[in-house]
Chains A and B, each alone.
Chain A
Amino acid sequence: MTVGDESARETARLERRVKRLEATLEQVERIRDANATLLNRVMDDLEVERQRSHELLLNVLPERIVARLDAGESHIADRHDQVVVLMTDLVAFTSSAAQLSASNLVTELNELFTRFDDACATRGVEKIKTIGDAYMAVAGLDRSPQGDARESVVAAANLALDMLDALGDARSRWAMRIGIHAGPVVAGIIGTRKFAFDVWGDTVNVASRLETTSLPGRIHVSEPVAAALEGRFALEPRGAVDLKGKGELPTWFLNGRL
């Protein structure tokens, strides 16, 4: 083989290589574009799903808690020195519920609690949970350290009055007892599955006792709550009431706004 032959073969080999590379490049570009289309569409799906999950989470957790979970926090438990806990209970719910079909019972309860949820949103009070016919809400969890603690008490008082109004508007078959107390709590998330935001502490227990010792259609409040509402709401002293585990304490009925 001459040098010229060898050179011609090498040229032919290179030309063939260039042809292959051009074909490869063309194919790679097509595949790259198709892959980009797929990934964009899947990313769009993921964004929709992410938004849906976020909204679902916001239905069960406060927005600031969701933000902290999104940021990677897994154990959330915060102490709050001055919050207001409101507890409600429907009087004789169990006995009257037995006379209703399950469907009607759930429908009526759902309509009522939806009104309560709306009232919470209007008054800036955080719904914590419902347990059967009981409804629990807390004001002041998101208050800044410089915020006026009395405004949280006012918000809870307004919510309680709104709830009684909602019960009347709905011509509900039930009467309701309400208890309100203010003080320190610990708030946070428990569990890793089906987790829930909750509050714990003696303040919660006292609010619960105030509710159970209240009367149908009445809002039963503790001394710190009454003190904060003085001059803006109509309060009626009830005298000393024996609250289980706390002994006799002075309490008031909240009758309305002034």
Chain B
Amino acid sequence: MLKMAVGQSDDVDPEAAIDDAVAQAKAQLGDATPKAAILFAAFDAFDPSLVERVRRAFPGIDVIGATSAAEMSSVAGYLEDSVALAVFASDNLELAAGMGVGIETDPATAAHDAIAQARARLTRDPRLCIVLTEGINAQRVIKALRDELPADVLIVGGAAGRHELGGNAPTYQFCNDKLSATGVVVLLMAGPVALSTAVGTGWRILGPRGTITAAGYGVIKEIDGQPAAQWASAYLDMSSATYGNPLAIQDAGTDDWYLRVALATDGQGGLRIPGEVPVGASVQLTTTSPDEMLRASEAAVERARAAFPEGASPQAALFFSCAVRKYLLGTRTGQELASARDLLPQSLPIAGMYCIGEIAPTGAATAGATDSHFLNETFVTLLMGS
């Protein structure tokens, strides 16, 4: 049995907010013994002392988390400038956390360190890896985590966020007493856990279709043999990032599309992107509307629910949604969570964050999936039970 207790508060005093959240979670836990916690903390509200307060409130548990662009939970809904806390207890599941740092220079070692720390305290192979990391290097981290974990482990999570979309301000990841702006934190779950996940975007593909003919990490150099910035500039104003019109990418030989924001031109005719896309992939333009985005997130929840293993029922949900969706949905952002709650059991505890990059398989999948991708502008649903 998995129990997730949730607390959330947007008190202007961050310490009062975390104390509120802790109190709410404790009340829900009852006699259950917590094993681990995830803290989503608004970037402006975050201070390492918040993590310490959670650890003091639940002695001996692992606390991982990240800064976020906004937070959501089943207790307070969608909020900006809040802290959302999810505390996990289980009588038959094992949970353990780990952290690696320096992903911008050595993602393999960072992923190895994080997984090794967590696995050292597990007696069984993990089934789920919840990951929080940093957006620019997230794709390298996913690949490195994949190399460290058994093939059937589901990897789901997000990249730490902040309120501003652009710029070079850091985001933070933390695990217990460790904090980094270029780290990877993982929470591994082992034992008889039932899982499903699904993603939704809501962007519509339109305009000409090109083929990526030259690319590197963090950059699309050429599309159809011409400088990528030239291709994009025929349709997009490349003086700023294309948050509202990300590029749709389809890897050669696959049916699934995923999104990549063109952050800017690189000064050499290329387009800077978070992560990488392979040469040979197809690229197209996109547009969307709030209604389409909300329909897509609803559909993701429905697909995750439909894919949940027969005979089990979800006992907790984590949502990772993109900070850009928050801006595009504006005052309707809370509907992502509200609609999801309407589709799930009313008593189901939910926690989540708005991030700068999401991590999940692109199709509906259970814990057999091995195709977790680094995603942009996507709503990710993770349902858990045992």
Contacts and interface: CB of A to CB of B under 8 A. Distances in A.
Q: Are the chains A and B members of one assembly?
A: yes
A41 B234 contact: yes
A151 B373 CA distance: 72
B81 A38 contact: no
A38 B80 contact: no
B377 to A, nearest CB: 11
A16 B12 contact: yes
A31 B328 contact: yes
A35 B245 contact: yes
Interface in A1-55: 9, 12-13, 16-17, 20, 23-25, 27-28, 30-35, 37-39, 41-42, 45
Given A9-B13, A30-B240, A35 B330 contact: no
Contacts of B164: 23
A34 B237 contact: yes
B223 to A, nearest CB: 16
Contacts of A20: 80-81, 163
Interface string A73-84: 000000000000
A28 B208 CA distance: 25
B165 interface: yes
A35 B12 contact: no
A21 to B, nearest CB: 8
A42 B80 contact: no
Contact of A16 (B81, B207, B237, B243): B81
A9 B12 contact: yes
Contacts, number: 64
Nearest to A1: B16
B242 interface: yes
Nearest to B243: A31
B10 interface: yes
Q: Specify which of A25, A30, A31 lies most central, judged by the most chain B CB atoms within 10 Å of its CB.
A: A31
Contacts of B287: 35, 38-39
Contacts of B10: 13
A34 B239 CA distance: 10
B330 to A, nearest CB: 6
Contacts of B242: 34
Interface of A: 9, 12-13, 16-17, 20, 23-25, 27-28, 30-35, 37-39, 41-42, 45
Given A23-B163, A42-B207, 6 more contacts: A20-B163, A27-B243, A33-B237, A34-B245, A41-B207, A42-B235
15 contacts: A17-B80, A25-B330, A27-B165, A27-B243, A27-B327, A28-B327, A28-B330, A30-B244, A31-B243, A33-B237, A34-B237, A34-B243, A41-B234, A42-B207, A42-B285
